[in-house]
């Protein structure tokens, strides 16, 4: 990789198309060199050539199936051993809109392997390396269904709730170590992920579908502003602030040595009637 980038190298998963490809474009234009990770080698090479030509940044492609543990391990090793890497964009993922009773459990396994297991292992590879260097940023691409899991497939929603929870925990643990962690929660975005999930985005109401470019630009603006959680489609940011404040407040009341009175535990039987 080139040593000419002051900002270092951004490793982006799911970089061959959609959100990942736009992140690659925007980060190259911001002065990052790139490591592009995805399964489609031809698309990666085409994107790499274009970005190098347009921006002069150095790019490296790592054709990888992140659901394959052996291939995933190679990306983990890259994150742990390459001191020029300063940013990880955990974007790779898959989705489903199938309800529980109509869903193939093997497809659900694929969602868990990519959205949870791969993201976790890459994060665990990057975080200690970033802490050792005293700098770094981890951007985790979640989804609004992580907050509203009733909206789509339950396993997909649960996988994105995991991404948000992990990001919150990392923010808590790593903030004083110079590491930035941002969770990005897109709503419906015009990518082929929807077709893979079983519902092309073109069939959604146009009023709820955001372009990939706008989504990524908003996410990076949120990063610049120091947001821990960025929701590009939420126009009233104070709504999230209030939601988070309520979540943190209620968490202070969970720990008690006796059950709540409403459960009547320990109350004599004659008083329960």
Distances (CA, A) of 87 to 25, 84, 135, 140: 14, 9, 9, 11
* The pLDDT value given to residue 132: 94
Which residues have a Cβ under 8 Å from the Cβ of 39 and sit 6 or more positions away?
A: 16, 63, 64, 65
Mean pLDDT of 199-217: 88
DSSP readout, 34-54?
Answer: EEEEES-HHHHHHHHHHHHHH
Say if residues 116 and 148 touch (Cβ distance below 8 Å): no
Cα separation, 172 vs 211, whole angstroms: 31
User: Measured between alpha carbons, how far is 177 from 259 in angstroms, rounded to an integer?
Assistant: 38
pLDDT for res 3: 45
Choice between 271 and 21, residue whose per-residue pLDDT is larger: 21
**Confidence at residue 200, expressed as pLDDT on a 0 to 100 scale:** 75
Mean pLDDT of the chain: 92
pTM confidence score = 0.93
**In whole angstroms, what separates CA 139 from the centre of its chain?**
6
263 is catalytic: no
- Crossing angle for the helix pair 154-174 and 119-133, nearest 10 degrees? 10
> pLDDT digit string (tens) for 77-133?
999 999 999 999 999 998 888 888 888 999 999 999 999 999 999 999 999 999 999
Q: Which of these is catalytic: 23, 156, 162, 263?
A: 156
Query: In whole angstroms, what is the distance from residue 206 CA to residue 131 CA?
Result: 42
pLDDT of 5 reads 64
Tokens matching residue 95:
């989705």
112, 156 Cβ separation under 8 angstroms: no
Q: Render pLDDT for 225-249 as a digit per residue (tens, 0 to 9).
A: 999 999 999 999 999 999 999 999 9
Model confidence at 271: pLDDT above 70: no
Q: Which of 38, 35, 115, 48 is nearest to 79 (CA)?
A: 35
Q: What is the pLDDT of residue 264?
A: 85
Q: pLDDT for 141-199, tens place per residue? A: 999 999 998 888 889 999 999 999 999 999 999 989 999 999 999 998 988 876 776 76
Ordered by where they begin, the domains of the chain are: 9-238 (3.40.50.720)
Model pLDDT, residue 2: 44
**Range 203-208 average pLDDT:** 85
Residues 71-76 have a mean pLDDT of 98
Residue 65 — pLDDT band, cuts 50, 70, 90? Answer: very high
Q: Cα–chain-centroid distance for residue 228?
A: 12
């Amino acid at each position: 990789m080139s040593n000419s980038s002051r900002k270092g190298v951004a490793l982006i998963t799911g970089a061959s198309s959609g959100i990942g490809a736009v992140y690659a474009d925007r980060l190259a234009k911001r002065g990052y060199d790139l490591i592009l990770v995805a399964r489609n080698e031809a698309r990666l090479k085409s994107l790499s050539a274009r970005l190098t030509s347009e921006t002069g940044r150095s790019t490296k492609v790592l054709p990888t199936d992140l659901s394959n543990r052996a291939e995933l391990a190679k990306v983990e090793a890259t994150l742990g051993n390459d001191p020029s890497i300063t940013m990880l964009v955990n974007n790779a993922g898959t989705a489903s809109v199938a309800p529980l009773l109509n869903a193939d459990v093997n497809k659900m396994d694929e969602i868990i392997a990519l959205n949870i297991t791969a993201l976790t292992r890459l994060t665990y590879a990057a975080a200690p390396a970033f802490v050792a260097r005293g700098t770094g940023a981890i951007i985790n691409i979640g989804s609004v269904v992580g907050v509203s899991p009733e909206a789509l497939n339950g396993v997909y929603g649960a996988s994105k709730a995991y991404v948000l929870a992990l990001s919150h925990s990392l923010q808590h643990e790593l903030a004083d170590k110079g590491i930035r962690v941002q969770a990005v929660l897109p709503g419906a975005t015009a990518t082929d992920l929807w077709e893979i999930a079983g519902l092309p985005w073109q069939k959604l109401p146009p009023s709820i579908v955001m372009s990939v470019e706008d989504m990524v630009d908003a996410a990076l603006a949120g990063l610049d502003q120091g947001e821990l959680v960025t929701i590009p489609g939420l126009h009233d940011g104070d709504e999230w602030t209030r939601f988070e404040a309520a979540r943190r407040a209620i968490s202070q009341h969970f720990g008690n040595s006796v059950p709540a009175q409403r459960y009547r535990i320990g109350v004599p039987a004659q008083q329960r009637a």
